[in-house]
């Protein structure tokens, strides 16, 4: 992972600026950890945008990135960040993705930022 972007991501996750949510990169309730990275991409490159969908899912209104799926990290963000894998890390739960850390295991942004610092 690009070192400068890694530092930006860790700082953003620890900043308290982003409210954490699950199952969507970004929605009316907040961001997942991967959504924070996508938001940094938009802010840093002035490329891309969040767009609100008109169809709520389980009472949540997801925002889509450049009109694509609201729950997976876009390729252009992965390339910008210098990520070559699918965000798999090792935790006490074995090999897991950042999606699982955020959504299934419900680790806090601070806990996830610690893993990013150590493993990416």
Q: pLDDT tens string for the chain (120 positions)?
A: 999 999 999 999 999 999 999 988 999 999 999 999 999 999 999 998 888 776 787 888 888 887 766 678 888 999 999 997 667 898 888 899 999 999 999 999 999 999 999 999
pLDDT of amino acid 70: 63
- pLDDT confidence of residue 86: 65
Looking at residue 74, its pLDDT comes to: 87
DSSP H or E stretch at residue 15: none
Assess contact for 6 and 36: CB atoms under 8 A: no
Q: What is the pLDDT of residue 96?
A: 93
Angle between helical axes of 3-14 and 33-45 (0-180°, round to 10): 120
How many Å separate Cα 10 from the centre of its chain? 11
- pLDDT given at position 101: 95
């Amino acid at each position: 992972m690009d070192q400068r972007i890694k530092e930006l991501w860790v700082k953003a996750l620890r900043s308290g600026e982003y409210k954490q949510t699950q199952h969507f990169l970004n929605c009316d309730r907040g961001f997942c950890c991967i959504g924070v990275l996508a938001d940094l991409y938009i802010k840093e490159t002035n490329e891309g945008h969040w767009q609100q969908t008109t169809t709520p899912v389980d009472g949540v209104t997801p925002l889509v990135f450049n009109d694509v799926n609201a729950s997976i990290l876009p390729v252009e963000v992965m390339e910008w960040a210098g990520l070559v894998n699918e965000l798999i890390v090792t935790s006490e739960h074995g090999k897991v993705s950042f999606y699982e850390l955020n959504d299934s295991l419900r680790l806090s942004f601070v806990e996830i930022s610690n893993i990013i610092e150590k493993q990416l």
